[in-house]
Amino acid sequence: MGMIGVGRIYEMYLNGEIEGDDEVALVFNPETNDPLSAPLVNIRATLALAVEKGILEADTSNLVLEKVRAEFFPRRTLASTVALAKGILDPVTFKEFADFVEKSSVDLKRRDAIAVLREIEKIMKNENHENHENSKNHEN
């Protein structure tokens, strides 16, 4: 069958929106497996949603993203994104953005992982159906 691309992150790589592996990289606590950083794709998605909701202007979002991208990937977190935005945003917008990130951050990697599991389930159901049909045909 080969590889099947699934999810928004796949689409972003496919259409050239993103290129580097640092887009999806993150660091975990070795004892608890809790993430210690945030993948850049999640930060991008959170910034895009902030623009969509009218909290940030697109240009401002791009400035924040560039500051985040300049950070070494293990240092990228939602909290560091908010801290970096403080130097760009006026106080009112900053408070609104900080509240938004706390309540509405986007976990694109999780969404895509769920989409992959659903695709696998769909493929497995299809294969089981085909195997069942094939076995019925051999019996006749």
pLDDT at residue number 26: 92
Rounded CA gap, 35 and 43, in Å? 14
Task: Give residue-wise pLDDT tens across range 88-125.
Answer: 999 999 999 999 999 999 999 999 999 999 999 999 99
pLDDT at residue number 126: 87
Three-state SS letters, 90-116:
CHHHHHHHHHHHHHHCCCHHHHHHHHH
Burial group, residue 49, by CB count within 10 angstroms (0-12, 13-18, 19+): middle
Task: Give residue-wise pLDDT tens across range 33-90.
Answer: 999 999 999 999 999 999 999 999 999 999 999 999 999 999 999 999 999 999 999 9
pLDDT at residue number 130: 67
Rounded CA gap, 17 and 45, in Å? 12
Domain borders along the chain are 7-108
Rounded to a whole number of angstroms, the CA Rg of the chain reads 20
Taking the whole predicted model, whether its pTM rises above 0.75 is answered as: yes
Rounded CA gap, 60 and 133, in Å? 56
